[in-house]
Structure 1
Amino acid sequence: MAKLSAYEREREANIARNRALLEQLELKQAVEGLGFPEKQAPQKTKAKPVQPAKKVKKEADAPRRQSARLRSAATLDPNESPSKKRKREAEEQERLAKEAEERIEAQERERLAKKPRHDDLNLIALTDEDTAAVASLSTELQNIAQIRTRRPANPEAFVFDEDSEDQAQVEELRGKLQSLKVVARAKVTENRVYSAAYHPEPTKDLIFFGDKHGQLGIWDARAPQEDEDEHNAETQENGKYWRLQVHWPATSQSSISSVKIDPIDSHTVYTSAYDCTIRALSFTSGVSREIFTNDETLISGMDVVPSGHEMWISDAAGGVTHLDLRQDKSKGKWYQLSDQKIGSVSINPSRENFLLTASNSKELRIWDTRKLQSMITDLSLDASTTEFDSEIVSRFRDSKEGAGCLRGEWRHDRSVSSAYWDPRGRGIVSTSYDDAIRIWDIHSPAFESPKPFPSARPLCRISHNCQTGKWLTILRAQWNPNPDVYPHFTIANMNHSLDIISCKGERIVRLSDSSKITAVQAVTCSHPSVVERAATGNASGRCVLWAPET
């Protein structure tokens, strides 16, 4: 129960005295008529939030400051000679000048500290942990097995003629996923979780969470703890986690908008952030290096092609940037594909040249990147051109050479917050502020034809509350990346639960646990190779692992 203030204690005492006096005068009805509030027992909360294992140490009180005038007055000699006085005043002037110079240097350091960092950063620079903790993280990262995160998928996998065959696949998945429970919890990041990625290592549950202030939390959710606290089992954290301040400054200007694991090198993790940079953290070297910056426009998302050598980046100016990771970051080419913010970008995993964008202009669009990259030649532009604004893109789309550049377009009732290809590269799921999830299924012949995709309604439209407001991360439907299972995706529910839905729109299972979860699990991700695994994060940085109980 919360402690009462002095005013509240005095008020309670006055009420008690007045009640006793009226009862002594046998005026019980008057007591009731006065409407004195009855004392109520505090409500008991079913779920207790998991608490961080480490406590912040309080700093010792700083010594009190004293003005220069008082310091000099205390040491002033009344019998001081004129020569000593001149010498003392000269020394005082020199001291004041030195202090002013130091103050200016401190202000400059403070100004630079608020700017994004562009240099290479090792693990010591990324964390405030001691040497032993950094060494533990370095060893942990280097011991992770090297796995290809995106395996080739068959676009025709799980395509059936009969609905009964789809239903059989759904039932098989339901049998596996309905057993998922909350098996681990921890406050992995200090602030709101914005993005997440599940590492493909099958023997571990290693999840990366990006937060609102540029911090990357690395959580080994099943790792044994060194100090087990049996007396605090309800609020105890599980596993081990490390926090790396990858993007700077540590404010909302550096929110990590997306986390991706390199498709061909699982020892590299990419993070994009609102500080207008993208960085790559190498497990092998323990160094985070900047691979892209635009110094102007907020980066809203990114995706890496399955071959691992190229990246597409979306931004708040309605543009996407193509970056060849084998070239210098200044070689990136920017295409303005919308007049409003593009919130997400997704590369087709089986047909790399098809790019999916979702924007605040209410439109979901599919682009042929081969056409975009031929724009310089087809429009006879200067070979050194790296920026193509909306006017150039529109002119190219209307030209004979640009036919087929925009392959598909579907309009929503409100802004499209996200849209992603499924692991086969034929299904699309989108979320929108019109409180709906839409699913499309594009047949393979449409990809082979140079003509735009036929205009059609989505395969299904699912009502889903997406009004997260100011304090919650936008809800995004995330496909399970495993190409060997029937396509399905996870999405948070505003009722503190996790929905898992099939590629045909059928809800497979809804996971919840009111005894352990009392907040919206806004950010979700799934294990790339183990079906019975999912992870979620909320607005306070607390994260949850869903898995079968052992």
Structure 2
Amino acid sequence: MAPPKLNEYERKRLENIRRNNEMMAALKVHSKATALSNHSKIVAKSYTVKLEKKPKIETPIVIRRSLRTRGIPPDSKGLDLDANSDSNTSTHNSPNKVEKFVQTLGPISMKDAYKGTDDSDRSFIESLVSMSNKGLLEEELEGPAKKKKTECSFELESLSLDPENIARVVPGRITQVRFFPSKDVNMIAAGNKFGDIGFWNVGESEIFLYHPHAAPISGILFQQHCLSKIYTSCYDGFIRLMDAEKEIFDMVYNSSDNACIYALSQPKNDANCLYLSEGKGGLAVLDNRIGKCSSHWDLHGARINTIDFNPQSSHIVATSSSDGTACTWDLRCIGGRKHTALRTFAHKRSVQSAYFSPSGSSLATTSMDDTVRIYSGVNLEDETSVYHFNQTGRWLSTFRAIWGWDNSYLFVGNMNRGVDIVSTVQKATVKTLESPHISAIPCRFDAHSFEVGMLAGATSGGQIYVWTSS
């Protein structure tokens, strides 16, 4: 069979292919391409690296589970305030020091407890001893002192904060601050969460610091008729009496069941008895004449945060509690298994404080439900509620509104580093004390008993600001 005839295009195509093959043969292109291909395969094979798998390290996975899911009951003491210690104060109380004070049930000398920067506290002790006979009760005030205390009207605009009236008195968070109840001195005692007690004479540079306790200070009381003797209570269940004449911190009470002491108070007409908040809602009476508690009543379902006596009727006491209530009680009628309050003031959340006014006719409460409430009337039946943001968080001491020098105003800190002033007449916050000198939030306050317009505000950084009336 004859091959098919090629057209002109196909003949030209075959001719081009033949010519290209001749040119490539002359240049030896095919042989070089084959050699390069074989060389690449050899190189790739010679440099092949076999990777070995690293052994997998088995690390245990820690699963955080709550006490409730593990079936363990919660700690009755609640949150440990010492867990929030700042880095700059963590070395202030080493574990060895804490252990030493926990085991010391007897007296501690002021020399051993002294932690101040000055070489000696001798000048401070001598000044306290000189005040030993200058403790004043209301009925002992005569002449100008009595007039100054009863006539306590002043202008809010006159309150000012001077730089010389600012000092860091203790390290860490201040839980208690008190003016000495004396018309002759403007001295402050402050307690912190580490168990320290610091003393500062306003306007002076010396700070006298002591460490008589191993846990947060919950109360500071000056012994009536003798300012050189000061009671201090603590979450560790101890009450000590600082006696400047004997130069010791004496042990006057130790909770037998290791219960925390959350508050300490004393009626003005009874120098022998101390009232303390102990454990879960308990109120105990410590009789110093017998050296033990003479009475104990379970009044609340949770811890009692404050104890305050009516200045006109010392048998009437107000308590605030974390169970969401504040109550007034007649101590003459408490007894038996069931205790009935005169009045119960219910709040939506924990009540941090309940304080009688200077006249005893009103009661002010501060609650975590963001209110400051004022109860007045014959039976405290009239209620005024003022909104106030009280969510301080875990790093600050809780806000507690205090009375000034009459029934007109309440003073309470705010989260903007100011002091809100609540008017009982206008039933609202009428002014906020502010200053460029304030670098931290004042949380706890005290008004000087004999210096109208002198107000101390304490912070969680250990500072104390003192406003004065110009």
- In the superposition, the TM-score normalised over structure 1's length comes to 0.61
- The 1-side partners of 2:190 and 2:117 are apart by 22
Deviations for 1:136-168, whole angstroms, at most 9, x for unmatched residues?
Answer: 221222233644454159xxxxxxxxxxxxxxx
Deviation for aligned residue 1:477 = 1.3
Q: Kindly tell me: are residues 208 and 112 of structure 1, through their superposed partners in 2, closer, same or farther at Cα, counting changes over 3 Å? A: closer
For the 8 Å contact 2:173–2:460, the answer to whether it is kept is yes
Please, which of 212, 228, 249 is the counterpart of residue 246 of structure 1? Answer: 212
Letter in 1 for 2:354: A
Deviation for aligned residue 1:211 = 0.3
- The 1-side partners of 2:265 and 2:279 are apart by 16
Please, which of 415, 422, 428 is the counterpart of residue 350 of structure 2? Answer: 415
Q: Please, which runs of 5 or more residues in structure 2 have no aligned partner?
A: 1-87, 141-150
Deviation for aligned residue 1:434 = 0.5
- The 2-side partners of 1:111 and 1:431 are apart by 33
**SS of residue matched to 1:332:** strand
Q: Kindly tell me: are residues 116 and 318 of structure 1, through their superposed partners in 2, closer, same or farther at Cα, counting changes over 3 Å? A: farther
For the 8 Å contact 2:386–2:428, the answer to whether it is kept is no
For the 8 Å contact 1:180–1:511, the answer to whether it is kept is no
Please, which of 258, 278, 286 is the counterpart of residue 323 of structure 1? Answer: 286
Deviation for aligned residue 1:284 = 2.8
Corresponding residue of 2:195: 214
Map 1:384-399 → 2, pairs under 5 A: 392-393=337-338, 397=339
Greater C-alpha Rg: 2
Map 1:33-432 → 2, pairs under 5 A: 112-113=99-100, 115-129=102-116, 132-144=119-131, 146-152=133-139, 172-174=153-155, 177-179=158-160, 181-223=162-204, 239-248=205-214, 254-295=215-256, 296-307=258-269, 308-329=271-292, 331-372=293-334, 374-375=335-336, 392-393=337-338, 397=339, 405-432=340-367
Q: Indicate the RMSD between aligned Cα atoms, in angstroms.
A: 2.9
Q: Kindly tell me: are residues 257 and 111 of structure 1, through their superposed partners in 2, closer, same or farther at Cα, counting changes over 3 Å? A: closer
- The 2-side partners of 1:269 and 1:111 are apart by 22
- The 2-side partners of 1:532 and 1:213 are apart by 30
Q: Kindly tell me: are residues 274 and 206 of structure 1, through their superposed partners in 2, closer, same or farther at Cα, counting changes over 3 Å? A: same
**SS of residue matched to 2:301:** coil
Deviations for 1:319-363, whole angstroms, at most 9, x for unmatched residues?
Answer: 11012222212x432211112121111122221111211112111
For the 8 Å contact 2:376–2:382, the answer to whether it is kept is no
- The 1-side partners of 2:377 and 2:261 are apart by 29
Deviation for aligned residue 1:110 = 8.0
User: Which is richer in strand?
Assistant: 2
**SS of residue matched to 1:528:** coil
Q: Kindly tell me: are residues 363 and 109 of structure 1, through their superposed partners in 2, closer, same or farther at Cα, counting changes over 3 Å? A: closer
Q: Kindly tell me: are residues 349 and 310 of structure 1, through their superposed partners in 2, closer, same or farther at Cα, counting changes over 3 Å? A: farther
Map 1:430-445 → 2, pairs under 5 A: 430-443=365-378
**SS of residue matched to 1:406:** coil
Corresponding residue of 1:471: 395
Deviations for 1:182-235, whole angstroms, at most 9, x for unmatched residues?
Answer: 542221101111111001233432001100100001011223xxxxxxxxxxxx
**SS of residue matched to 2:106:** coil
Corresponding residue of 2:412: 491
**SS of residue matched to 2:333:** helix
Q: Kindly tell me: are residues 181 and 322 of structure 1, through their superposed partners in 2, closer, same or farther at Cα, counting changes over 3 Å? A: same
Q: Kindly tell me: are residues 506 and 417 of structure 1, through their superposed partners in 2, closer, same or farther at Cα, counting changes over 3 Å? A: same
**SS of residue matched to 2:305:** strand
Q: Kindly tell me: are residues 150 and 474 of structure 1, through their superposed partners in 2, closer, same or farther at Cα, counting changes over 3 Å? A: farther
- The 2-side partners of 1:183 and 1:335 are apart by 46
- The 2-side partners of 1:196 and 1:125 are apart by 23
**SS of residue matched to 1:173:** coil
- The 2-side partners of 1:457 and 1:131 are apart by 52
Higher RCO, Cα 8 Å, sep 6+: 1
Corresponding residue of 2:60: none
**SS of residue matched to 2:349:** coil
Corresponding residue of 1:540: 461
Q: Please, which runs of 5 or more residues in structure 1 have no aligned partner?
A: 1-54, 59-107, 154-168, 224-238, 249-253, 376-391, 398-404, 447-452
- How many residues align? The count is 366
- The 1-side partners of 2:315 and 2:449 are apart by 23
For the 8 Å contact 2:159–2:453, the answer to whether it is kept is no
For the 8 Å contact 1:473–1:539, the answer to whether it is kept is yes
Identity, % of aligned positions = 22
Letter in 2 for 1:117: T
Deviation for aligned residue 1:315 = 2.7
**SS of residue matched to 2:318:** strand
Q: Kindly tell me: are residues 130 and 255 of structure 1, through their superposed partners in 2, closer, same or farther at Cα, counting changes over 3 Å? A: closer
Deviations for 1:354-411, whole angstroms, at most 9, x for unmatched residues?
Answer: 1211112111111111122x53xxxxxxxxxxxxxxxx23xxx4xxxxxxx4211110
For the 8 Å contact 1:221–1:240, the answer to whether it is kept is no
Deviation for aligned residue 1:112 = 4.8
For the 8 Å contact 2:159–2:468, the answer to whether it is kept is no
**1:521 pairs with 2:422:** no
Deviation for aligned residue 1:275 = 0.7
- The 1-side partners of 2:279 and 2:189 are apart by 24
Corresponding residue of 1:510: 432
- The 2-side partners of 1:419 and 1:540 are apart by 25
Corresponding residue of 1:5: none
- In the superposition, the TM-score normalised over structure 2's length comes to 0.71
